[in-house]
Structures are given as structure tokens and as C-alpha cells.
């Protein structure tokens, strides 16, 4: 009996175990089935979504056969297409009709577009074509091979030209005429690798590579061509004809480059000419305000009439309307509105950069830290060379000795506040003597190239200097001009100068003719 009971108990226990195993297997099977169902639902949903988001057919709106597609490039030109190749350029509308075409021969054509203007340049060659939506508006044959070319919406073109270790940054008007040129070297100020021009055509940015302490680094330079870009003002009388008088109240066009560089650095930190384009356009649109107002005055003129019957002559004052157009250009310094564009933290950075001039206080104009007083010319006997020079200019320059702070020289140039002003002083003196050129605010990137590109350059030790020549200095002997003054004359051993921004003042100074910090002389033709 006991054995039977034990057997029955074992049988029941075994049955319960089997039942539990069966239930567990069934539950696992149910979970697998549920998982399969969920997966099926997901797949169905995915198929439906993909089906709804996938185009299953298309229609060809238009087509054309081109037997040599690789020979041409295509860029959008507003609502049309600019087609360009080695044999020419053409404008194609949406109906695939050729609006106009221009034949030329290029080896490596490249294109840049800005709104309704475009430029086609032959890279490593010398041809540039400036285009509008209607036609070719200007052509350029450069003297050196083209590295880069960019166009503004105003039609002006900035180009980098290269010739071995020398390069040029040139600026051309819409019709292809040369506005300005600037020669550079790999060691001074560096090798230009990219270029951008602001849409309004007033500012060029050039990215340079240069070697410093055996390391390759880069910086961005700003070139202000505001005087050239003020065509809107220059053409007011043709764009707004019919007035009896045009009255102008114009601030100078220009900016403090340290302010601009400080703003861009605070906002963007690191930037390229391309990435700063939009910011440049925004900042200069806020800087300049052009206002046109009409004014009508009632004036009187004397009119004479003769009675045909009696022959009697009478005169009377007849009123008439005298129409005046007032043209006002306001130039606000960047620092006056920069707080509207920067966060509090960025604004602090801006003021810090501005206070230190970006650790490059001389890069935009130069100067001299010399705090010693102006020298006395008593007893100095000048040695005259074969070049005449300009004594009247130097008398005017000597009258400026004692000026502190550089006003009105930097203001005359176009700056709203003080900048390093030695170059502004030299340019102002040349202007007072009736010379519109050279006009430069930067020693290295404007002044030196102007003289060198025209063959008007004398290296240190040049003996035939004359009154009125420019003298350039390189204080730290890095190959970059830091300061400029005017030559008063020389004797047997020394050169005598009048310099602006020498310790922030106009002074008379002198140097040994072989002084190592003399970079060279800009030789004036009078």
C-alpha cells in the first residue's frame, strides 16, 4: 500500500511538471507569434510609408541633346542658366532658348555669380569677361595669369594675379577698366589664397598665408575701395536728372579697419572671406545712410517784353520754381551700433580686441613708438641730387610739426575716429600739393605696392632721394613696412624726414642713410 501511494504521488508530481513545461512552451510560442505579428505590422506600415513617399513615375518637362556635356559648365544665373566652356559663354532661358552668346577661347574657364552679375575668368591665363543678364558689359586682359576672380552685384571685379613669388590683388570697374592694384609677395604680406568682394563692391577681403617663426599661418586683410564704390553718389545727377541744383552733404567713405576686424572676430571667431560676406554686407548697410530730399524754392527772374504796336519795352519780375535735390551721406562708426549686433559676452570680446588692436597695431597704417622730441634742423646742409623734388610740399609738411592725434589727416582720409595715421598724413600732404595719388592708409599693403608697381622705388641706400619722396620703415625687420614719412632731404650721412604718428605726433626726425630699419623709398614724380 505504501509503495502504491508513493508511486501515485510520483506520478502526480511528474504530471504537474509536464503541465508546467507545456504551459511555458505555449507562452513562449504565444510571445513569438505576437512578435511576428508586430513585425508584420511594422513592415506593412513601412511599406505604406515608403510607397507614399516614393515617386513611381515622372514626366519630362523638357530635354535637349548635348553631344559634349563635359566640355561645358552650368551655373544658375537668377532664373536662367549660364552655360560656359572653352569656346564661349551663353545665357539659356527656361525654354532652353539661347538669349545671347559670346565666343572666346579659354583654356580653363571659371565662373563667379553675384545676383544679376557674373564674371568668367580664364584661370592661369589672362582673360576676364564681365557679364550682366543682358550681355557682356566689360572685358579685361590682365598682365599676369589669373588665380581667382570674384564679382559684386554692382559689376566690379576683384582678381588675384600671380607671377612666381609675386602676386597682385586688382580691382576692376564694371566696364573692365582698372580701378586699383596692389602688389604682394609671399614674405610680405603673404600669399593670397582666396578673395571675396562685398556685394556692394566697396570692400575686398583677401585671405593670406605667410610664414612666421617657421610656421605657416594665415590672416584676412580688408581693402577699402569705398571711394571707387561710391558710384551711386557720383551718378546722382544722371540717375536723378532735371534739378536746377544738387547740394551735397557727404561724410567720407571709409571705416576703422581695427573696428571691423574686432567685430568679425568677436562674432565669428575664425572666418574666411566667404563666411564673412553676409556680415560685411549687413555691417556696411548699417554704417552708411544715403538720404535724398527734394526742395522747391520760389525765385524770381527778370523778363523783358516789347509791345509790337507801340514798341514800348517793359520789364517785370516773374516767379518760378527752383528745384533742389539735397544729397546727404551719413557714415556712422562701427562702434556706435555694434552693441545692437553682439551679445554681452561678444561685446566684451569686441572691446578687448579693439583695445589691443588685435595684437597688430601697425597692420592698418603703421606708426612709430618714438616718444623723443622733434629734431632741430639748425646747421643742416642738404645735398641736392638730380631729382627736383617738391620744396613747397615740404614747407607745408613742416608746418604740421607739433600736431598731436592726427586730426585732420585720418578724418580727411575717411575715418570717423583715430587710426594709426602716418600713411594718412603722407597722403594728405600729397593731396594738398595737388596729387590725387598715391592715396593710402596702409604702408605695406597699399603704399609700398603703389610705388613698386610703377617702378618708382629705391631700396635702402638709394642716394638720389629728393624732398617729397616717401620713406618707409620696417621696425622689426620682418620685411613688412610699419611706418612711412616724407623726405625733407639728406646730407652726407643722414636722411631728414617729416613724419606723422611718431609717438602720435608730427615730428622732424633723422636717420643714418644706411639705417637697417629703412625699408626703402617711394620716389615721386613732380
pLDDT, position 128: 95
- Are 507 and 373 in contact by the 8 Å Cβ rule? The answer is yes
Q: What is the pLDDT of residues 404-413, one digit of tens each?
A: 999 999 888 8
pLDDT in tens, 122-171: 999 999 999 998 989 999 999 889 999 999 888 889 899 987 767 888 88
Residue 135: strand pairing partners? none
pTM of the model: 0.49
Cα–Cα dist 159/171, whole Å: 7
DSSP code of residue 445? I
pLDDT, position 157: 92
SS3 of 48-78: HHHHHHCCCCCCCCCCCCCCCHHHEEEEEEC
Q: Omega into 189 within 30° of 0, i.e. cis? A: yes
* Cα–Cα dist 509/422, whole Å: 14
Q: How far is CA 437 from the centre of its chain?
A: 21
The H or E element that residue 117 is part of is strand 117-122
Provide, rounded to the nearest whole percent, the portion of the chain with pLDDT above 90: 40
Domain borders along the chain are 70-225, 266-297+326-359, 391-522
Given a cut of 70, is residue 339 above it in pLDDT? yes
Mean pLDDT value of segment 284-304 = 88
- Grid coordinates given for 106: 579659354
Residue range 178-213, pLDDT digits in tens: 877 776 665 556 677 788 887 777 777 777 776 656
pLDDT of residue 48: 47
| pLDDT score of 519 | 96
Quote the Cα angle for 82-85-90, to 5°.
Answer: 35
Span 448-456, average pLDDT: 91
Q: Which residue has the higher pLDDT, 258 or 14?
A: 258
The pLDDT of residue 51 is: 45
Higher pLDDT, 356 or 228: 356
Q: Which CATH architecture has domain 391-522?
A: Alpha-Beta Complex (3.90)
Residues 245/322, Cβ–Cβ less than 8 Å? yes
Report residue 299's pLDDT band, with 50, 70 and 90 as the boundaries.
very high
Confidence (pLDDT) at 434: 92
Distance CA 289, CA 249 (A): 12
3-state secondary structure of 397: helix
Cβ atoms of 113 and 77 closer than 8 Å: yes
For cell 595715421, name the residue: 421
Q: What is the dihedral of CA 271, 274, 276, 281, to 10 degrees?
A: 170
The CATH architecture one would assign to domain 70-225 is 7 Propeller (2.130)
Q: Which whole number is the average pLDDT over 260-282?
A: 82
Mean pLDDT, rounded, of the chain: 81
Name residue, grid cell 612709430.
Answer: 368
Residue 39 C-alpha cell reads as: 513585425
Is it the case that residue 420 has pLDDT exceeding 50?
yes
Cα–Cα distance, 180 to 445 (Å, whole number): 12
Place of cell 613747397: 392
Amino acid at each position: 500500500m505504501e509503495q502504491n501511494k508513493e508511486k501515485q504521488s510520483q506520478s502526480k508530481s511528474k504530471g504537474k511538471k509536464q503541465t508546467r513545461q507545456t504551459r511555458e512552451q505555449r507562452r513562449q510560442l504565444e510571445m513569438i507569434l505576437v512578435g511576428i505579428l508586430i513585425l508584420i505590422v511594422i513592415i506593412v506600415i513601412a511599406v505604406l510609408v515608403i510607397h507614399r513617399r516614393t515617386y513611381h513615375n515622372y514626366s519630362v518637362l523638357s530635354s535637349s541633346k548635348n553631344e559634349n556635356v563635359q566640355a561645358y559648365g552650368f551655373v544658375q544665373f537668377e532664373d536662367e542658366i549660364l552655360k560656359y566652356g572653352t569656346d564661349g559663354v551663353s545665357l539659356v532661358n527656361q525654354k532652353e532658348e539661347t538669349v545671347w552668346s559670346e565666343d572666346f577661347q579659354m583654356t580653363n574657364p571659371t565662373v563667379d555669380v553675384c545676383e544679376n552679375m557674373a564674371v568668367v575668368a580664364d584661370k592661369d591665363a589672362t582673360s576676364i569677361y564681365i557679364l550682366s543678364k543682358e550681355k557682356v558689359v566689360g572685358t579685361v586682359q590682365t598682365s599676369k595669369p589669373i588665380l581667382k576672380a570674384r564679382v559684386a552685384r554692382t559689376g566690379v571685379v576683384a582678381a588675384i594675379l600671380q607671377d612666381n613669388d609675386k602676386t597682385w590683388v586688382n580691382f576692376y570697374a564694371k566696364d573692365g577698366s582698372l580701378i586699383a592694384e596692389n602688389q604682394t609677395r609671399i614674405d610680405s604680406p603673404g600669399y593670397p589664397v582666396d578673395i571675396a568682394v562685398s556685394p556692394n563692391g566697396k570692400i575686398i577681403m583677401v585671405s593670406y598665408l605667410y610664414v612666421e617663426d617657421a610656421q605657416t599661418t594665415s590672416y584676412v586683410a580688408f581693402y577699402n575701395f569705398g571711394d571707387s564704390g561710391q558710384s551711386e553718389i557720383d551718378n546722382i545727377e544722371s540717375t536723378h536728372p532735371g534739378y536746377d541744383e544738387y547740394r551735397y552733404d557727404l561724410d567720407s567713405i571709409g571705416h576703422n579697419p581695427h573696428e571691423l576686424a574686432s567685430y568679425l572676430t568677436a562674432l565669428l571667431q575664425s572666418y574666411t572671406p566667404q563666411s564673412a560676406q553676409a556680415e560685411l554686407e549687413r555691417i556696411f548697410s548699417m554704417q552708411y545712410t544715403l538720404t535724398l530730399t527734394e526742395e522747391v524754392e520760389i525765385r524770381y527772374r527778370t523778363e523783358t517784353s516789347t509791345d509790337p504796336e507801340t514798341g514800348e519795352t517793359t520789364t517785370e519780375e516773374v516767379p518760378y520754381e527752383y528745384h533742389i535735390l539735397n544729397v546727404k551721406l551719413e557714415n556712422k562708426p562701427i562702434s556706435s551700433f555694434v552693441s545692437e549686433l553682439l551679445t554681452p559676452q561678444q561685446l566684451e570680446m569686441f572691446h578687448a580686441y579693439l583695445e589691443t588692436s588685435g595684437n597688430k597695431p601697425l597692420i592698418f597704417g603703421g606708426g612709430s613708438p618714438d616718444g623723443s622730441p622733434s629734431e632741430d634742423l639748425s646747421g643742416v646742409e642738404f645735398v641736392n641730387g638730380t631729382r627736383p623734388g617738391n620744396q613747397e610740399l615740404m614747407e607745408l609738411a613742416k608746418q604740421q610739426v607739433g600736431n598731436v592725434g592726427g586730426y585732420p589727416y585720418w578724418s580727411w582720409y575717411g575715418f570717423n575716429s583715430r587710426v594709426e595715421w602716418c600713411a594718412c598724413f603722407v597722403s594728405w600732404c600729397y593731396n594738398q600739393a595737388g596729387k590725387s595719388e598715391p592715396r593710402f592708409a596702409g604702408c605695406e599693403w597699399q603704399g609700398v605696392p603703389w610705388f613698386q608697381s610703377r617702378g618708382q622705388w629705391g631700396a635702402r641706400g638709394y642716394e638720389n632721394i629728393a624732398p617729397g619722396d616717401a620713406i618707409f620703415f620696417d621696425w622689426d625687420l620682418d620685411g613688412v613696412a610699419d611706418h612711412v614719412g616724407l623726405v625733407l632731404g639728406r646730407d652726407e650721412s643722414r636722411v631728414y624726414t617729416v613724419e606723422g604718428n611718431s609717438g602720435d605726433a608730427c615730428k622732424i626726425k633723422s636717420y643714418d642713410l644706411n639705417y637697417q630699419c629703412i625699408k626703402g623709398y617711394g620716389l615721386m614724380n613732380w
